[in-house]
Structure formats: C-alpha cells, structure tokens
Amino acid sequence: MSTVMHHFLHPHNCGELESPDGVGIEEDNPWFIRIRLAIKVEDGRIDEIRFKVAGCVTAVASMSALTDLVRHRRVDEALAATSADITYALQGVPKEKVHCCELAIRALRRAIWDYEARQDATNAGGTRTTSQ
C-alpha cells in the first residue's frame, strides 16, 4: 500500500480539537477542498493538532502527513514547513495533486497566525476571542 493510501485510509490526528489556540481554514473552490486545522500550543510548541477535510484522497493524506511533521515542533519550526516536506513524507504525489500539499501548508500557517494574533491580543490586555 502506498504511503498516500495509508494516510488516507488511516489518517493521523483527524477530528476536532476542543478550545484550540489557533484555527486555520483553507478552501480551494475549483477542486472542492475545504480544510479546517486546529492547534493547541504549550510552551511554544504545537502540543496538539487536529484537522477535518472535505476533499480528495491526496488532500486527506497531505493533512495527515503534515500533522505528523509539525506535532511537537516549535511554532517557528512549524512555520518553516513546506509543501515539499509533505510530498517527501508521502513518498511523492502526482504533479497534478501538489496543490493539496500547498493547501495543507496554507491551513497550517493560518492556524499559527490565528494563534499569534490571539497571543498578541491577550498580551495587549485584550480579551481572547474564539475563531470559526
């Protein structure tokens, strides 16, 4: 069984995350893909990460592989992850499906930016808001 199919049939870190510290949502309308990625950060590291995807096999596999790649990493390390890292972890994806890896990275970045914005608001004395 290919790595892509393994991640699709047995996705890692799939589901909801209660009270996330950051949420990233990414959509690709031409391909009908919708991703929701939630993170919890503890001591500057992504402690928990969960995702939900409506999309193709490669979209699910990309998110599963991404969550494995960045879980327990420092936030700045996670921000440095690339679609090539996901492609490598999946042992390759078809050229026409690389956009799924790129969507996964964009969802991660949105979740981290949301986390950072919440931290800034909290540190500035503002109230913490909930996202999506």
Amino acid letter, 40: K
Q: pTM score, two decimals?
A: 0.90
Q: What is the pLDDT of residues 59-83, one digit of tens each?
A: 999 999 999 999 999 999 999 999 9
Q: What is the pLDDT of residues 90-111, one digit of tens each?
A: 999 999 999 999 999 999 999 9
Domains identified in the chain and CATH numbers: 3-116 (3.90.1010.10)
Residue 66 near residue 86, CB atoms below 8 Å: yes
Q: What is the pLDDT of residues 8-49, one digit of tens each?
A: 999 999 999 999 999 999 998 888 999 999 999 999 999 999
Q: Of 38, 48, 45, 41, which is closest to residue 130 (Cα–Cα)?
A: 38
Q: Of 67, 73, 66, 57, which is closest to residue 13 (Cα–Cα)?
A: 67
How far apart (Å, rounded) are the C-alpha atoms in residues 114 and 9?
30
Strand 33-42, strand 22-28: pairing: antiparallel
Residue 56: both structure tokens together: 């193709």
The residue length of the chain stands at 132
